[in-house]
Structure 1
Amino acid sequence: MTNIVIGSGPAGRLGSYELGKLEKDVILIEKNHIAGTCLNEGCMVICALTDITKFIDSNRSFNEYGFIKSQIDVSYEKIVSKITETQEFLRKLNQMENESVGNKVIYGEAKINEDSVEVNGESLEYDNLLIATGARPHIPDVKGSEYGLTNKDILKIDDIPEKLNIVGGGIIACELANIFSTLGSEVNVIVRSEFLKEIDSDIKNYILKYILSDVNILEYSDIKECEKNKVVLTDDNELEGIPFFATGRIANSEIAQGFVDINPDNTIKVNEFMQTSRDNVYAAGDVTGGWQLTPVARMEGICAARNMAGYLNKISYNSIPQSISLNTEVSFAENEKISDDVKTETITLPAIAGPNSFWKILTGDTGLAKIEFDSENNRIKKINSISPSSVSDVAYLSYLMRIDSPLDEYSNFLEIHPSSDTNYKIIKSLWL
Structure 2
Amino acid sequence: MDFDYDLFVIGGGSGGVRAARLAATEGNARVALAEEYRYGGTCVIRGCVPKKLMVFASGYGEMMEDARAYGWDVEAGDFDWQVFRPRLHAELDRLEGIYRNILKSNGVETFDARAELIDAHTIKLSTGQTVTAKHILLATGGHPFTPDIEGAEHTITSNDIFLLDELPKSILIVGGGFIACEFACILHGLGVQVTQYYRGEMILRGFDFESASHIAAAMQERGIDLRLRTNATTIKKVDGGLSVTDTDGRETMFEKVMFATGRKPNTSDMGLENAGVTLGKGGQVEVDDYSQSSVPTIYAVGDVTNRINLTPVAIREGAAFVETVFKDNPTPVDHHLVPSAVFTQPELGTIGMSEEDARDEGPIEVYETRFKGMQSAFAGREDKVYMKLIVSKADRRVLGCHIVADHAGELIQLAGIAVKMGATKEDFDRTVAVHPTMSEELVTMKTPVRET
TM-score, scaled to structure 1: 0.91
Amino acid paired to 2:263: R
For residue 49 of structure 2, the aligned residue among 44, 47, 53 is: 44
Q: CA deviation at 1:87?
A: 0.4
CA RMSD across the alignment: 2.4
For residue 111 of structure 2, the aligned residue among 91, 102, 106 is: 106
Indicate how the Cα distance of structure 1 residues 389 and 413 shifts in structure 2: closer, same or farther if over 3 A, else same.
farther
Answering whether residue 233 of structure 2 is matched by residue 235 of structure 1, we say: no
Structure 2 residue aligned with 1:279: 296
Structure 2 residue aligned with 1:270: 287
Q: CA deviation at 1:404?
A: 2.4
Answering whether residue 365 of structure 2 is matched by residue 331 of structure 1, we say: no
Answering whether residue 171 of structure 2 is matched by residue 164 of structure 1, we say: yes
94-103 or 332-341, larger mean C-alpha shift: 332-341
For residue 21 of structure 1, the aligned residue among 19, 22, 25 is: 25
Check whether the contact 2:367–2:447 (CA below 8 A) recurs between aligned residues: no
For residue 249 of structure 1, the aligned residue among 252, 263, 269 is: 263
Check whether the contact 2:368–2:445 (CA below 8 A) recurs between aligned residues: no
246-255 or 404-413, larger mean C-alpha shift: 404-413
Amino acid paired to 2:149: V
Structure 2 residue aligned with 1:201: 209
Task: Give me the whole-angstrom Cα distance separating, in 1, the residues matched to 2:106 and 2:123.
Answer: 22
Answering whether residue 337 of structure 2 is matched by residue 319 of structure 1, we say: yes
Indicate how the Cα distance of structure 1 residues 419 and 4 shifts in structure 2: closer, same or farther if over 3 A, else same.
farther
Amino acid paired to 1:274: S
Once the two structures are superposed, residues 24-82 of structure 1 have per-residue CA deviations (whole angstroms, 9 ceiling, x without a partner) of 22111111100101111112111010001121221123346664331322111221111
Indicate how the Cα distance of structure 1 residues 427 and 215 shifts in structure 2: closer, same or farther if over 3 A, else same.
same
Q: CA deviation at 1:300?
A: 1.6
Amino acid paired to 1:215: I
Q: CA deviation at 1:192?
A: 1.6
| Structure 1 unaligned regions, length at least 5 | none
Amino acid paired to 2:262: G
Q: CA deviation at 1:401?
A: 2.5
Indicate how the Cα distance of structure 1 residues 269 and 81 shifts in structure 2: closer, same or farther if over 3 A, else same.
same
Q: CA deviation at 1:187?
A: 1.2
Structure 2 residue aligned with 1:226: 235
Answering whether residue 360 of structure 2 is matched by residue 340 of structure 1, we say: yes
For residue 420 of structure 2, the aligned residue among 388, 402, 407 is: 402
Q: CA deviation at 1:289?
A: 1.0
263-272 or 206-215, larger mean C-alpha shift: 206-215
Task: Give me the whole-angstrom Cα distance separating, in 2, the residues matched to 1:423 and 1:87.
Answer: 38
Q: CA deviation at 1:429?
A: 8.8
Indicate how the Cα distance of structure 1 residues 418 and 3 shifts in structure 2: closer, same or farther if over 3 A, else same.
farther
Indicate how the Cα distance of structure 1 residues 346 and 428 shifts in structure 2: closer, same or farther if over 3 A, else same.
closer
TM-score, scaled to structure 2: 0.88
For residue 59 of structure 1, the aligned residue among 46, 57, 64 is: 64
66-75 or 183-192, larger mean C-alpha shift: 66-75
Q: Percent identity?
A: 22
Amino acid paired to 1:10: S
Structure 2 residue aligned with 1:69: 74
For residue 122 of structure 2, the aligned residue among 116, 126, 138 is: 116
For residue 389 of structure 2, the aligned residue among 363, 371, 382 is: 371
Check whether the contact 1:328–1:386 (CA below 8 A) recurs between aligned residues: yes
Q: CA deviation at 1:20?
A: 2.3
SS of 1:306 mapped into structure 2: helix
Structure 1 residue aligned with 2:316: 299
Task: Give me the whole-angstrom Cα distance separating, in 2, the residues matched to 1:236 and 1:428.
Answer: 49
Indicate how the Cα distance of structure 1 residues 139 and 393 shifts in structure 2: closer, same or farther if over 3 A, else same.
same
Amino acid paired to 1:113: I
Task: Give me the whole-angstrom Cα distance separating, in 2, the residues matched to 1:418 and 1:299.
Answer: 36
Indicate how the Cα distance of structure 1 residues 179 and 52 shifts in structure 2: closer, same or farther if over 3 A, else same.
same
For residue 398 of structure 2, the aligned residue among 371, 380, 391 is: 380
Task: Give me the whole-angstrom Cα distance separating, in 2, the residues matched to 1:408 and 1:98.
Answer: 47
Q: CA deviation at 1:417?
A: 6.2
Check whether the contact 1:351–1:420 (CA below 8 A) recurs between aligned residues: no
Task: Give me the whole-angstrom Cα distance separating, in 1, the residues matched to 2:246 and 2:163.
Answer: 26
